[in-house]
Structure 1
Amino acid sequence: MLYAIAALFLLQALGDALVRLAGWPLPGSVVGMVALFAGLLVLRRVPAGLEQGAKALLPHMMLLFIPSVTGVMLHFERVAREWRPFLLASVFGAAITLVVTALALKWLLRRQAAA
C-alpha cells in the first residue's frame, strides 16, 4: 500500500514539475496520471504493490474527491458567472463516461465469452 501511495505522489510531483517547466495550462495531477497510464501500457501489467494499493484505495474513492470539490468552491464567484461551461462539461463528461464504460463492459463480456 505504501508503494502505491508513494508512486502516486511521485507521479503527481512529476506532473507538477512538467506543467511548471512547460507552462502547460493543465493540473499536474492529470499529467501525472497520464504518465502512470503510459507506464502501465509500456509494462503491459500492473505491479503487485500498485494493484494492492489501488484495491485498498478504491472503496474510499469519494473521500479523494473532497479536495477537488472544495477547491472549486474557493472560486464560487467564477462558477456562478460561468455556470454554462461547467454544466456543459459536466453533462458531456458524464455522457462520455457512460458510453466509454458501456463499450468497455461490452468488450470485456465478449472477450470473457470467447475464452
Structure 2
Amino acid sequence: MIETFALLLLCQLAGEVLSHGFGLPMPGPVIGLLILFAGLVIAQNFGKASAVSINDTALGRATQGLLQHLSLLFVPAGVGVIDHLHLLQTYGPVLFLALFVSTALSLAVTALTFTAVKSWRSPRGVS
C-alpha cells in the first residue's frame, strides 16, 4: 500500500513540477491525475494490467481508503471559513448571487450546447 501512495504522490509531484516549471494555468494535482490516467491507459493497452477491475488492484484499494476518509480533508477548509466568517458576512450576498448566476448560466449553456450537438448529429426529421 505504501508503494501505491508513493505512486499517487509521485504523480502529483510530477504535475506540480510541470505546472510550476512551465507556468501552466492548470493546477499540479490535476496534471498529476492526468499523468496517472495516462499511465493506467498505457499499462492496460500494453498488457501490464489484467482485465480485472481497478477496484481489485492495490491502487483501487488505496484510493477507496482515501475516499472513505475524504471528509477529513475538508476540515481545514471549514476552519478557514469559520476563521474568516466576517468576510462571509460582508460579501456573502454578493458571493451567493455570483454563484447562483454562474451556475444558472453554466446549466443554460450546457443545455444549449447539448441541444445543438444533438440536432447536428441526428439525421433530419428524427428527434
TM score, norm. by length of structure 1: 0.56
Alignment of 1:1-115 (within 5 A): 1-44=1-44, 45=49, 46=54, 48-67=57-76, 69=77, 73=81, 80=91, 83=95, 86-87=99-100, 88=102, 92=106
Q: Which runs of 5+ in 2 are unaligned?
A: 111-127
Q: Distance in 2 between matches of 1:38 and 1:90?
A: 33
How many pairs does the alignment contain? 92
Residue range with higher mean Cα deviation, 1-10 or 11-20: 1-10
Deviations 1:8-48 (A, max 9, x none): 11111100000112111121011101111111122224483
Q: Distance in 2 between matches of 1:49 and 1:19?
A: 28
More helix, by proportion: 1
Name the SS for the 1:7 alignment partner.
Answer: helix
Name the SS for the 1:62 alignment partner.
Answer: helix
1:65: how far off? 3.8
Report the AA paired with residue 16 of structure 1.
E
Please say if residues 15 and 28 of structure 1, whose CA atoms lie closer than 8 Å, have aligned partners that are also in contact.
yes
- Percentage identity across aligned positions? 30
Q: Distance in 2 between matches of 1:63 and 1:92?
A: 29
Whose RCO is larger (CA < 8 A, sep 6+)? Answer: 1
Q: Which runs of 5+ in 1 are unaligned?
A: 97-115
Q: Distance in 1 between matches of 2:2 and 2:31?
A: 21
Name the SS for the 1:23 alignment partner.
Answer: coil
1:49: how far off? 2.1
Q: Distance in 2 between matches of 1:91 and 1:61?
A: 29
Q: Distance in 2 between matches of 1:37 and 1:14?
A: 13
Computing the radius of gyration over CA atoms, which structure comes out larger, 1 or 2?
A: 2
RMSD: 3.7
